Amino acid sequence: MADSPSNFSAPMTGGQTFNLQGRPAKYTVLYFYPKDNTPGCTTESIAFRDHYPEFQALGAEIYGLSRDSMKSHDNFKGKLGLPFELISDPDELVCNQFGVMKMKNMYGKQVRGIERSTFVFDASGRLVKEWRGVKVNDHVNEVLEFLKSQP
């Protein structure tokens, strides 16, 4: 597994600041997604929303992260009724720490964007699992199965 930052902080919805260290949950699930209100990102966020009680039962808290503004995140969160917070990283500082910025083909053009990725941290902030180049279908179930397999 690649080295992940031992800590970072960034603004998130609810007027709060996310800090990786000192999270009260047994597990922190951090999913990076390209953009609010796009089909794949909406589908992925809804899947995390719909399975949120299962994550909570396993002691996991979920956070979504993209480069969108806080205003965009607030609207996206409200529109989908997301029960978890979204982290804003417009300067790509966190994205670069995690190495999720990639060149991608979009409609025949090369564009730089977030590679859909998910990271799971334990209560001490140690990275215990990562998925990169995530395909939306069934991904949330993969994350749940991983958490269920933990002692």
41 among known catalytic residues? yes
Judge whether 45 lies within some domain: yes
Judge whether 121 lies within some domain: yes
Judge whether 6 lies within some domain: no
pLDDT for 1:
38
- CATH number of the domain at 52, please: 3.40.30.10
Residue appearing with tokens 């029960």:
83
Structure confidence by residue, pLDDT tens digits, 5-46: 567 889 999 999 999 887 878 999 999 999 999 999 999 999
Single pTM value for the model = 0.92
Looking at the structure of the chain, the number of domains it has is 1
Judge whether 3 lies within some domain: no
| Domain coverage including residue 36 | 24-148
Judge whether 117 lies within some domain: yes
Judge whether 126 lies within some domain: yes
Judge whether 14 lies within some domain: no
Which of 41, 47, 62, 65 is catalytic? The answer is 41
Judge whether 13 lies within some domain: no
